[in-house]
Amino acid sequence: MTANGATGDRPGRSGRRPGQSGAREAILAAARARFAEAGFDKTSIRAVAADAGVDPALVHHYFGTKQQLFGAVVQLPVDPELTLSAVDAAPLDRLGETIIRAVLSVWDSPAGDGVVAMVRSIIAGGDTSLARSFILEVVLERVRQRIATPEDDGRLRVALVGSQMIGLLMARKIVGIEPMASAPAEELISAIAPTLQRYLFGEI
């Protein structure tokens, strides 16, 4: 493992790829393999660049941050930072409500079809490692850091929140269970937010 948190660079590829022909596709392929193997936290831009045979600056040029690179790998139709920043700014006593409101605003927006397509692709492909890394390391880790205490690291709490959100996505957008599929967002927020708040701060 390198000092920047990545697992060791794979041998056989180094240096900058001659020209840029196919570089974007090579970066995506290398990132997909690296994220699936090592997870989000333990993957670095430098390691992805080494696997793809390009300079790290080229990875930043095409994809920006590591989070944006991950979004491209899983074909996320929206930048997760837009949603996560709203959650970051929420007061703790409204954190559960903010999470469900922010997520539903994405699912019910024009980008929602892309989210559903991404989830269907993950389910069909059977590759759960990328989905798990996205949910736990990209979406929920910042929430966990806010609620963690010396006695409780918050991992079970955010996992329970994740299970609730996955179930809601499946029921509302993929399976189409009524009346959840057509219920107004505010009705779902009122019903689910207290449960999320209990998962985050109450007895479990």
Give the residue extent of every domain in the chain: 1-73, 80-201
Q: Hey, which CATH number is domain 80-201, 3.90.550.10, 3.30.70.141, 1.20.140.160, 1.10.357.10?
A: 1.10.357.10
Please choose, from the candidates 22, 142, 4, 137, the residue with its C-alpha nearest in 3D space to the C-alpha of residue 70: 137
> Alpha-carbon distance 199 to 8, whole Å?
37
> Per the confidence metrics, is the pTM higher than 0.95?
no
> Alpha-carbon distance 110 to 127, whole Å?
26
User: Are 35 and 133 spatial neighbours (Cβ–Cβ below 8 Å)?
Assistant: yes
Q: How far is CA 33 from CA 58, 153, 163, 175, 182, in A?
A: 18, 29, 25, 30, 37
> What is the mean pLDDT for each group of 10 consecutive residues in the chain (204 residues)?
44 45 89 85 92 94 88 76 87 96 87 77 69 78 94 96 91 92 96 97 94
In the beta sheet, which residues pair with residue 149?
152
Please choose, from the candidates 74, 194, 190, 187, the residue with its C-alpha nearest in 3D space to the C-alpha of residue 130: 74
1-73 has CATH 1.10.1060.10 classification: no
Q: Which two tokens stand for residue 68?
A: 């944006």
What's residue 108's pLDDT?
86
